[in-house]
Structure 1
Amino acid sequence: MSATPPPSVTAPWAGGQITPRAHCVLAPNPGPMTLDGTNTWVLLEPGATDAVVVDPGPLDEAHLATVLAVVADAGARVALTVLTHGHADHAEAAPRFAELTGAPVRAVGRGHDDLADGDVVRTGGLDLRIVATPGHTCDSISLALPADHALLTGDTVLGRGTTVVAHPDGELAAYLDSLDRLHALTGDAGATAILPGHGPLVPDAGAMVAYYRTHRAERLEQVRQALADGAASEIDVVEGVLQRVYADVPSTVWPAARMSIRAQLEYLDRER
């Protein structure tokens, strides 16, 4: 029996003020891989004047203007930009946003002032703890926002559906470890909500991360079975697994499924 995802926000996702400290500005780039669009998060301690922006998104001047307007309306300025990872739908606008704001950009690698697991970023009275969550990509991080009992997860955990392990940059063993790390931060550990990189607020962080862990284990077992049933003997083993395991997935996301399959095959090869 397949894992059932936990209930999520069912109203059309348009962003807005989501927690006392987190405002979501939805980028105008909806699609099969980006869902409603990229969530750009404006984080601001109530009453403070220094804001943190997480993932300015694609290079869209109107979107960046909207982000700046949200910050200005709160009587604040952008003091820091943080990237959850380097994919263009999250990070393409970072250089332009730095020009507009004069604020530094921090991320893992890619020439930025690197962040490390456990680092605490303090800006305008706001505390964010960096959680290394590689797997979707090698540079993926999440951010714990303890004051709102929330985790900003980028593409590691989405607000709807499941994410891709973007092989070869992404790696399944690292991704499974990252899910374990996020799971340890939920429930009694403090985080009750997920503010994802795409899709709506996840009100039950523990249930969603548990679903992701179960889903990954089930997919991996399905790939093992597909290989046992003859997918390995086919000319293109990736396509063989795709037809057997991902028949329930819309063809619009098959390119992402192929990346995940390659990551799964690499994982199983190492396992053997």
Structure 2
Amino acid sequence: MSRFPSIGAHAQHPAYGVLRKVTDTASVMLADNPSIMTLDGTNTWILRAPDSVSCIVVDPGPLDEAHLTRVAACGPVATVLITHGHPDHEAGARRFAQLVNAPIRANNPSLCHNGAPLTGDTTVSAAGLRLKVLATPGHTADSICLLLEDDNTTAVLTGDTILGRGTTVVAHPDGKLADYLTSLRLLATLPPNTQALPGHGPELPDVTQIATAYLAHREQRLAQVRTAVEQLGGSPTARQVVEVVYADVDRILWDAAEWSVGAQLEYLRTED
């Protein structure tokens, strides 16, 4: 679950509106949409080979004209890619595509515009780069990651499957815990020192370590949920389980926790 320690005075965040280079081929611009769920805001990624004029934009972010205009200024844009269909990542995509005259591609066909859907066997070649699409459902049914390999670095854009801080909500009922665990196991098999370039929060040096830690966290939570179900008896609601398992967590996070607990209860009913 995303954790956002403070949203006070967010307009002063030094990263808003600033293009920050992260690798030789990946730069990030932070959208000004902080919240409990989005941390400091949504990361919009701009990808291009060092000798490329055009770029790939991943997750244009919310419908924020100022943010979209600043990202558009990084163009020309060859294509727009969406990691999943939550509004903080894609609500601005259609407007952005108009600004830069580029196609939109996503796993969910309804989000695509003048471009084919992205599936687990898709490779995107643009802006001098090759991106391998990894199907990583769980946070949502349509979540994907994008594996970027070049001569100097290997990185994976993780959307909300892995965050730069905290852990991810399994957005039940669209998101499924069984799918999410499978996706984490896939990410844990990537080469060591593959950087994680997340949809929220800072980049991380080794996605395999983080995916392994996420798996351990999910197993711990599942054990806590099992115990809570036994204590409560019958068929407790997700909210009742949250009140037990997350008793020491700020209540402002309980609504988000309820999604993940709903996914855990479904998992226990169908997979255990």
TM-score w.r.t. length of structure 1: 0.88
Cα drift, residue 176 of structure 1: 0.3
Partner deviation per Cα, 1:7-63 (whole Å, 9 max, x = no partner): xxxxx8836111111110000001110001000000011010120000000000000
Higher RCO by CA contacts (8 Å cutoff, separation 6 or greater): 1
1:98–1:105 Cα contact (<8 Å) kept: yes
2:188–2:209 Cα contact (<8 Å) kept: no
1:23 to 19, 23, 27: 27
Aligned length: 251
The reply to whether residue 58 of structure 1 matches residue 62 of structure 2 is yes
2:52–2:127 Cα contact (<8 Å) kept: yes
Runs of 4+ with deviation above 4 angstroms: none
Change (3 A) 1:102 1:163: same
* Residue range with higher mean Cα deviation, 166-175 or 115-124: 115-124
SS in 2 for 1:64: helix
In the aligned structure 1, how far is the partner of 2:156 from the partner of 2:246? 29
In the aligned structure 1, how far is the partner of 2:68 from the partner of 2:107? 22
Which residue does 1:41 correspond to in 2? Answer: 45
2:72 to 31, 54, 68: 68
Unaligned runs of 5+ residues in structure 2 are: 1-12
2:157–2:199 Cα contact (<8 Å) kept: yes
1:200 to 196, 199, 202: 202
Which residue does 1:85 correspond to in 2? Answer: 84
Cα drift, residue 256 of structure 1: 1.1
1:115-126 to structure 2, matched below 5 A, reads 115-126=118-129
1:13–1:200 Cα contact (<8 Å) kept: no
Which residue does 1:140 correspond to in 2? Answer: 143
Unaligned runs of 5+ residues in structure 1 are: 1-11
Which residue does 2:255 correspond to in 1? Answer: 255
1:13–1:36 Cα contact (<8 Å) kept: no
* Residue range with higher mean Cα deviation, 118-127 or 128-137: 118-127
The reply to whether residue 151 of structure 1 matches residue 156 of structure 2 is yes
In the aligned structure 2, how far is the partner of 1:266 from the partner of 1:139? 19
Q: Which amino acid aligns with 2:80?
A: T
2:139–2:160 Cα contact (<8 Å) kept: yes
Partner deviation per Cα, 1:225-263 (whole Å, 9 max, x = no partner): 111112x447x5222211111123322221110000110
Partner deviation per Cα, 1:131-168 (whole Å, 9 max, x = no partner): 00000000000000112311100000000000100001
In the aligned structure 2, how far is the partner of 1:229 from the partner of 1:13? 47
SS in 2 for 1:19: coil
In the aligned structure 1, how far is the partner of 2:47 from the partner of 2:53? 11
SS in 1 for 2:38: coil
Q: Which amino acid aligns with 1:123?
A: A
The reply to whether residue 179 of structure 1 matches residue 184 of structure 2 is yes
In the aligned structure 2, how far is the partner of 1:250 from the partner of 1:156? 23
1:228 to 230, 233, 238: 230
Q: Which amino acid aligns with 2:200?
A: H
Q: Percent identity?
A: 51
